Structure 1
Amino acid sequence: MSDITNTTRPTVTPALLYQDARAAIAQLTTAFGFVQSALYESEDGTVLHAELVHGNGMVMLGSAGRGGPFAEAMSGAGPAGIYVVVEDVDAHCERARRQGAEILVPPADQAYGSRDYLARDLEGNLWTFGTYAPSGPEVAD
């Protein structure tokens, strides 16, 4: 069980490495509506760490190829699949499409009550945007 309860800060945050972290930040903000909340760079401009916020969720990312334990563990990893809750799936998809995002599955109603669509970012990660908001585990007081 988690030690953190009753917080608005995310307690699970995906972390991704990109060959071109600047292009990823540009796409995630312009096409998918994330807001950049932090950016740390090396002297040569390499993205060491960035935080992009969407609602009360966040994704952290950085430049691949910098070395270190995390980068070594991620080497050879396949694309990630990330789910993001949005209110208006159709408008969100249209924004992403206008910005050139690759839409794999257009907005559709799902049997479990969600409406969602599937997109791929510039480096192959899969992003599902939908109305289904998982409630998470029950936490005893």
Structure 2
Amino acid sequence: MPPMAKDTTSTVTPCLRYRDANRAIAWLCDVFGFEKRLVLPGPYGDVLHAQLTFGNGMIMLASASVQDHFGKLIRMPDEIGGMQTQTTCLTVRDADAVYQRVKRANAEIVLDMVDAEPGMRGFTCRDLEGHVWSIGEYDPWQTTD
């Protein structure tokens, strides 16, 4: 059977909503190391659509105030008791360096730094609006023997 996925850089792209998307973009770039690829401003200082890259991955985001068909499906973490229906994993070279930036940004660490086995150093935190991120050196694309 031929592959279903399109031949592109990344075939899965998480999409998030933020009340203050402009502030979130700056935070995600400063703290986690994302880079802006595209930011489409809305008419009221909001963000209609943004693309942030990290290595060969990407997230897309928009302001929570953008109530298009997709936006009506989304609830902010604080609207559901801080719970999550999915989280985003970020594979980094140096989990300790990102951990220090997260601590300096006063983000909530929900699962502290752990070493599960070689190559699996990481931690879990909330971003500035409560989305949960697992950040670590584990690379799920590497095969193990």
Query: TM > 0.5 between the two?
Result: yes
Aligned position for 1:81: 87
- d(CA) in 1 for partners of 2:73, 2:124: 27
The percentage of counterpart residues that share the same residue type is 39
Contact 1:30–1:99 at 8 Å: present in 2 too? no
TM superposition score normalised by structure 1: 0.84
- The answer for the alignment partner of 1:131 in structure 2 is 137
Matching residue of 2:6: 4
Preserved CA contact (<8 Å) 2:15 2:59: yes
Question: For 1:1-141, what aligned pairs fall within 5 Å after superposition?
Answer: 1-5=3-7, 7=8, 9-75=9-75, 79=84, 80-111=86-117, 113-135=119-141
**What letter matches 2:105 in structure 1?**
Q
Q: Are the counterparts in 2 of residues 29 and 36 from structure 1 also a CA contact under 8 Å? A: yes
Instruction: Tell me how far apart the structure 2 counterparts of residues 85 and 29 of structure 1 sit (CA, whole Å).
Output: 15
Paired residue secondary structure (1:24): helix
- Say which is worse superposed, 102-111 or 18-27, in terms of deviation: 102-111
Contact 1:52 1:60 (C-alpha < 8 Å) held by counterparts: yes
Gap regions ≥5 residues in structure 1? 137-141
Give the number of equivalent residue pairs.
134
**TM-score when normalising by structure 2:** 0.82
Q: 1:139 matched to which residue of 2?
A: none
SS in 1 for 2:61: strand
Q: 1:17, 1:61 within 8 Å by CA — same for their partners in 2?
A: yes
Quote the RMSD (CA, aligned, Å): 2.0
Deviation at 1:15, TM superposition (A): 0.3
Distance apart, 1:113 and its partner CA:
4.8
C-alpha deviations, 1:83-119, integer Å up to 9, x for none? 0100111111112212222222222111585111111
Secondary structure in 1 matching 2:4: coil
Range with greater deviation from structure 2 (111-120 or 49-58): 111-120
SS of equivalent to 1:53: strand
Structure 1 stretches (4+) deviating beyond 3 angstroms?
75-80
Between 1:85-94 and 1:104-113, the stretch displaced more is 104-113
